[in-house]
Each structure stands twice: as structure tokens, then as C-alpha cells.
Structure 1
Amino acid sequence: MTTHAVNVSNLAPTTTEDHLRDFFTFCGKIVAIDLHNTEPKTAVVHFEKPSAAKTALMLNGGTLDGAQLTVTSDTTHHDEEHEEPAAGDHIEQEHKPRAGIVAEYLAKGYTLSDSILERAIKMDTEKGISQRFLAYFNSLDKTIGSKALGENQTVSAKVQSAVSAATQQAKAVDEQKGITKSATEYYSKALASPWGQKVRQFYTTTSKQVLDIHEEARRIADQQKASGTAPAPAAPTAPGSAGAGITGGPATTDPTAPATTVV
């Protein structure tokens, strides 16, 4: 099977294969990791899809275990073409906006420079938001709206006051039918919350700024804190559904704090 690889250098001596997997799994499905315990330590991360490798290259200059990573590739990786709408209630990391992915990194506690955030915004602006992601989000919007507001209703179509009322209704339905137990994905919870309008706007537009990403990171972190779980990448499920932390992994930093710019 063809894989799409990136080279990672300037690794910290304490970095393990598990640390690398936890870090790069936000980009997409990892097929294999070749860790070379040389001096200095290096690695090659193989992804299933080229878009995941492209996202990984965006993270050049990111921090793992206190070391500023150098991420390069011997080839050029492109986003997949001819994406089909999602058929189910799962969205892969590869089909999320890059700005959303870096927000997940910050919420997890990793340190990324503002230059990386700007890189993510630029990539979203150039590529646009994938049709698969839009189809997924719109489907969620309608599904949650139907449960909370009634048949054929959407959360995003309501004004903020109605969204707040819908949230209370959703909680009541939740208690009766246990929806949260079966719909634990971050996006589901976010869209049904009082600030669901902001979340939807963030993930479905490309006119973002660095501060918007920091704000989204805070929302993700607060959402996970409220639900009692730690933010995590969607591999194989959506962010926040698994992973309680990494030994030697992300720093315990404020996801809304400005990062040091990488030159």
C-alpha cells in the first residue's frame, strides 16, 4: 500500500513512538512510524492519505516534548480530489478545516506558533472547506435540531435565544433517551450548546484570524472540562472522545495564550 511520509527531525531525547503518534494523529490516519534512535533522534511518519501528510508539514516548527520540530518531505503532498459527502455520523481528521485541527492541538495543550496558525488559515482560504466536512456538519446540525426542536429543524437557523432554549430542551431529551451516551462527539455537544452558532461559523468559514483559533481552542478545552474528559484527536472518532493525556506529550499551557513566533 502506498503511504505518504514526512520526515521529522530535531526530536527531543525523551520523545517516543507513542509521543509521535499522539502528536501526528491529529493530522490523519497513521500507517507506520519509523523512529531512529540516532544522535540527533529522527523519525519518518507514514500517513494513509496525502492530505494528512500535507497537514503534518504545516506543523513545521511545532513543539513536542520541549523541542521545536522540523517537519519536511521528499515529495509534494496534495489534498484528495472528488470528495464525496459523508454517509455516516463520522468525520475523518483529513476532512476537517486546518484551522480546526490546530485549534484541537492547542486545546490538547501542545504549543504551536502563531505562524503555524496563520499557515492553517491560509491553507483553508486556498482550499476552502471540504464538501465532506460541510455535509457532515450540516447533517449534525439537522440531526441535533430535530431532536431538540422538532422534525426538520436546525440549530443554526435559530437566533441565540432560541439556541439557549433548544439546549435546555436537548438536555431534557437527553435525560429521557440518553442521547449523550450515544452521541459523545465534540461537534454534537458544541452545536447543541448556547454558543453553537459561533462553533458552526468557525468551522464552516475561512475568514478566520489567529485569535479565532485561540478562542476555538478555549471552547474545546472548556467543553472537555465540562464533560470530564480530555481533548483528543478524532482517530478513529471525533475530538474529545478518547485520550486522557500523554506522558511527556503536550505542555500544560493556556490554549488561548499567544505562542512564540517561529521565524
Structure 2
Amino acid sequence: MDISAVRAYGAQSQTQPLTIMTTTYAVNVSGIAPSTTEAQLHDFFTFCGKISSIDYQGKTAVINFEKPSAAKTALMLNGGTLDGATLSVTSDVVHEDEERSASREGHPIEQTDKPRAGIVAEILAKGYILSDHILQQAIEIDAKQGISKRFLNYIHSLDTTLGARALGPDQTISGKLQTSVNEAVQQAKAVDEQKGFTKTATDYYAKAIASPFGQKVRAFYTTTSKQVQDIHEEARRLAEQHKAEFHKSTSPAPAAEGSSVQLEPVKQAAPADV
């Protein structure tokens, strides 16, 4: 072979852009309503985790996630309702949860770090319909997989930070709340009134832990022992939070004392970052 030709080929190959192969984890979705848009599909399934791409073909779609745990959560939503249609969510392969190390301080929590029961509570809170069978699946996955170290560390960090600010060094909100139910509610109310955490905190979990329901909320997100009813209760708390935020963002001025504003539930929106 002509050596000049080899050199020319080598020079040409060096100028070609490198193609970096990325792995995605796909689920197949069918039974999609004709009126459902790709954006609606994205909003619904982004509760599971970050989406790489969606191949939308009308009544069917292939949704590619960045992580296998997100795809596994999506499979759990088989039988969920979107835009009035019951979705079928399947996969050609088995998706398993990846190894997840404990989070570093200040490192944000991703959707895939959250307990499955917490994820389905978020979905219900946004107005979507999930059967109790799906909620039970979420509970069973949490019981089998456990709660991720990243999420447990995150909740513990909030607990100790709020405890130190409200009660003093080396104190935790949850530790103070464990004395008795009545004292727990009164202490949480006092903390909130004095420090205003629920008015100033931007993180839902921080607000919830410092609320009268702090003990229940913390237990819901850090233990695997729960019932379907617990998910519905947390969904109601989340929905109330969404209503409050929606009211705050759309009201030009505070309502007069004694007045009431009825808001429609906020539906079909992506989960908020924490």
C-alpha cells in the first residue's frame, strides 16, 4: 500500500469528530390517548427521573431514561392514567437499581434518589390517577431495595440543621418531636411561629419536618414500613403545598382577613427540584 495514502487516511481520520456512546434505559408506552402531547408524556414520566429522549409515535412511545432506576420506576406506573387513558408500560429488558453512594454535603438530591412511595405521592399530588395496586408496588420496592443512603443523609442533614437553629447545638427536630404526640405538635408549631421556617424555607422537606406533621413526614420518607393510606396522606400534604405556592405566585396582594380563595388542583406538572 502506498505510504502516502496511509498518511492521508490517518490525517483524515484525526479530523473526524469523536462519537461518544451513551447508554440509555428504555421503556415502551402504549395506550396513549390521541390528545396526549409529547410534552405531557415528558411531564408525567419525568417524575421517575431524567429523560434522555422520547420517540413518540402517536399512540405509542419509547421513553429513554438516563438511569436504570428511573426506567424501573416507570415500569411501576403500568396501569397509571394520563389524559383519561390507561397506560401500558413495558420493557424488553430488566432494569435494576444502580449502586448509589451516600451524598456529599451540598450535593443536590435527584429524583431517582427519592423513595418510590415518595415519588408516587408526588404524582398523586399533581392530580394524576394511580391505582392502589401501583402504590402497593412502590411500598414493596422500597421494602426490598431500602431507602437510598443519599436520601437518608439528605433528610438527616435537614433534621440536624433545623434542630440546631431552632433548639440549639446537637439537637434534632425529630428527636424533640418523639416525646409525645401532643408535645410534638405544640413544639413544631412553636418552632414554626418563632423561626418562620415554613415561610422562608424553599425546600419542601425542610418545611414539612418543621411542621406539626414533622414526625409523620420524616418517618414516611426514611422508613420502609408504610401503608397505601400513608401515601395518600403525603400526597394531600404535597397538594396543599402546591396550592399555597400557586396562590402566592398568582395573588398580587394578600387576601383580606376572613376571605377564602378556592383553587383548582395543579395538574400534570413536573416534580420540583429539591
TM range (shorter): 0.7 to 0.9
Residue 41 of structure 2 corresponds to residue 23 of structure 1: no
Give the corresponding residue for 2:186: 164
1:74-114 deviation per Cα after TM superposition (whole angstroms, max 9, x unaligned): 11111011423343263111011101111111111100001
Cα distance in structure 2, aligned partners of 1:186 and 1:106: 16
Larger proportion of helix: 2
Cα distance in structure 2, aligned partners of 1:213 and 1:147: 30
Q: Report the secondary structure of 1:105's partner residue.
A: helix
Cα distance in structure 2, aligned partners of 1:11 and 1:227: 30
Match of 1:3 among 8, 24, 28: 24
User: Is the 1:92–1:234 Cα contact (8 Å) retained in structure 2?
Assistant: no
Unaligned runs of 5+ in 2: 1-21, 248-265
User: Is the 2:198–2:211 Cα contact (8 Å) retained in structure 1?
Assistant: no
Give the corresponding residue for 1:124: 142
- Compute the RMSD of aligned alpha carbons: 2.0
- 1:167-178, aligned counterparts within 5 Å? 167-174=189-196
Give the corresponding residue for 1:256: none
Unaligned runs of 5+ in 1: 239-263
Cα distance in structure 2, aligned partners of 1:228 and 1:106: 17
User: Is the 1:148–1:167 Cα contact (8 Å) retained in structure 2?
Assistant: no
Give the corresponding residue for 2:254: none
Give the corresponding residue for 1:50: 68
- 1:72-87, aligned counterparts within 5 Å? 72-87=90-105
Give the corresponding residue for 1:258: none
Q: CA deviation at 1:180?
A: 4.8
- 1:113-262, aligned counterparts within 5 Å? 113-159=131-177, 160=181, 161-162=183-184, 164-174=186-196, 180-181=199-200, 183-228=201-246, 230=266, 233-234=270-271, 237-238=273-274
Q: CA deviation at 1:166?
A: 4.3
Cα distance in structure 2, aligned partners of 1:202 and 1:60: 23
1:15-68 deviation per Cα after TM superposition (whole angstroms, max 9, x unaligned): 11110111011101111111113xxx1111111111000000000000000000
Comparing 220-229 with 111-120, which one deviates more in the overlay?
Answer: 220-229
Cα distance in structure 2, aligned partners of 1:142 and 1:123: 28
Cα distance in structure 1, aligned partners of 2:241 and 2:189: 14
The one-letter code sitting in structure 1 at the alignment partner of 2:238 is I
Change (3 A) 1:91 1:82: closer
TM-score (normalised: structure 1): 0.81
Cα distance in structure 2, aligned partners of 1:190 and 1:65: 30
Change (3 A) 1:59 1:143: same
